[in-house]
Copies of this chain bind each other. A is one copy, B any other.
Amino acid sequence: MSTIGDVARRAGVSTMTVSRVINNSGYISQETRERVEQAIAELGYVPNALARSLRFKQTKTIALIITDITNPFFTTVARGVEDTASEHGFSVIFCNTDESQDEESDYLTLMVQKQVDGIILVPAHSSRASAAFLQDHKVPFVVLDRRIAGMELDTVRCDSEIGGYQLTRHLIDLGHRRIAMLSGPLLVSTSADRLAGYRRALDEAGLEHAEFFGSLSNADGYRMAREALTAPQRPTAFFAANNLVAIGALRALLEQGIRVPQDLSVVSYDDLPESMIFDPFLTVVAQPAYDMGQQATRLLLNRLSGIDTTAPREVLLPAPIIARKSSAAPPGTNP
């Protein structure tokens, strides 16, 4: 509540002298320093970061714009971002867009107003509007997890096409011939890429597609699974576009008494954190969520500090398949 002026008055010096004590800059006699420090302590003075930011044009704050902090993948990403940012003296403002383009652009405007130094963005759609907006306003940013087509941008992500291909191959190699894709929206680049990988693997093997579309939610996972189960030739495996979809699908299977993996295999994208699972079950492509957050933040901070002035670059992190109990040979196969 007290200002640098209050401290100055109490110590009988000018505000500039107090400022010098606080920032340890310039010359100050030992005696004055002590008097100022005492005044600071007595008043419980804390510098006003707002005024400082206004002068320095630096807020030491970044924004993390994600779709849903409740999704454990993004929770872990967020933790990686916050840890890395705070290590370097930066604070993080969180924004949940719920995959809505409108929410996203509202938040972007707000963050520009708030003069955040940089932004880490998981774009709701692969539209270029958000990136263009930030470029216009000269706010450094890093795109996380997803692609924005046709623009050269700093990006940290995993290759979902390859992951989708490998996960599908894993099922094919186990002997599956009818594999249903429970996909997210095509506007979400990771969904589109995973679907593309799925198609490539099926086409190579000469198998037929079975594609279902919905949002990347538990509810739609449930719905898509039920739809897929009504097909005359029931699939022997599900490829869920992400963990929420997978869990929704598993719920549908449980309800209908379909055993996993004996009757039907399920594979999915994004692992659950180790600390939350005592008996890992799902076969997944495990994206390194914490690392992704960390690397995105590092890249952003290096841009901010001017350490890194190279052309925008895409960091592609490896995402291993972890084969577990939810995938096995289809029923009626001799192992």
Contacts and interface: CB of A to CB of B under 8 A. Distances in A.
Interface of A: 1, 44, 46-51, 53-54, 59, 61, 68-70, 72, 75-76, 78-79, 82-83, 86, 91-96, 109-110, 112-115, 136-138, 217-218, 243-244, 247-248, 250-251, 254, 272-279
A112 B86 CA distance: 16
Given A248-B275, A250-B279, 9 more contacts: A1-B138, A69-B78, A82-B95, A86-B96, A91-B114, A93-B93, A247-B277, A254-B278, A272-B276
B61 A69 contact: no
Contacts of A137: 1, 44, 46
Contacts of A70: 75-76, 79, 273, 275
Contacts of A47: 113
B93 A92 contact: yes
Leading 9 A-B pairs by shortest Cβ distance:
A250-B278, A218-B275, A49-B113, A251-B278, A49-B114, A247-B278, A50-B115, A50-B54, A46-B112
A43 to B, nearest CB: 10
A293 to B, nearest CB: 11
Nearest to A272: B276
A110 B51 CA distance: 14
Nearest to A139: B1
B136 A110 contact: no
Contact of A46 (B93, B113, B275): B113
Contacts of A83: 96
Nearest to A89: B110
A277 B46 CA distance: 46
A206 B53 CA distance: 62
A278 to B, nearest CB: 4
A322 B296 CA distance: 40
A54 B53 CA distance: 10
13 contacts: A49-B113, A50-B50, A61-B93, A61-B114, A69-B79, A82-B96, A91-B114, A217-B275, A247-B278, A248-B275, A251-B279, A254-B279, A272-B276
A255 to B, nearest CB: 9
Contact of A274 (B76, B112, B218): B218
Nearest to A246: B278
Nearest to A79: B70
A292 to B, nearest CB: 15
Contacts of A248: 275, 278
A244 B276 CA distance: 7
Please indicate which of the listed interface residues A49, A112, A217 has the most CB atoms of chain B within 10 Å of its own CB.
Answer: A49
Nearest to A252: B278
Contacts of A254: 278-279
